[in-house]
Amino acid sequence: MIDHFGINCADIEASKRFYDGVLAVLGHGRIMEYGDFVGYGSDGKPDFWIGRYDDQPPVQREMHLAFTAPDAATVRAFHEKAVELGAESLHEPRMWPEYHQGYYGAFVRDPDGNNVEAVCHRAAEGD
């Protein structure tokens, strides 16, 4: 459904450090850079972009973005890396049966205050 998605960052260097770290855990990396814009993805396609627009104020409304993880261990690694990089933990990794059976996710706040999640939809209880 979505070809690519981008967010505006107040501190592009802090955002690069954050997304370089947490997306590497999920198997993604920098695919393309153009000035203050960085495209992340895998298989040569930048699906997620961060950037800085000088003509836009850094204050923005919180956005929620969930990245797919292949398993519960990767969700935990994402959360651990994000916290190591200074992110606020919003929700530690756990099963979310109120969403659906097998939903295992963790939520953190990125350097711009956005709610960023890693989620596996096929986790088993006790993973």
Mean pLDDT (the chain, rounded): 92
The answer to whether the CB of 76 falls within 8 A of the CB of 84 is no
Question: Is residue 57 predicted with pLDDT exceeding 70?
Answer: no
- Contact (Cβ atoms closer than 8 angstroms) between residue 41 and residue 108: no
pLDDT given for residue 83 in this prediction? 98
Assigned token pair, 24:
């590497």
pLDDT digits (tens, 9 = 90+) for 82-92: 999 999 999 99
- Read off the pLDDT band of 35 (50, 70, 90): confident
**Residue 126 scores a pLDDT above 80:** no
Q: Is the pLDDT of residue 111 over 90?
A: yes
Distances (CA, A) of 125 to 71, 72, 93, 95, 97: 12, 10, 12, 7, 10
Which single residue is written with the structure tokens 């596996």?
Answer: 120
Assigned token pair, 120: 């596996």
8 A C-beta contact, residue 50 and residue 37: yes
Residue ranges of domains in the chain, CATH in brackets = 5-120 (3.10.180.10)
Per residue in 7-34, pLDDT tens?
989 889 999 999 999 999 999 999 999 8
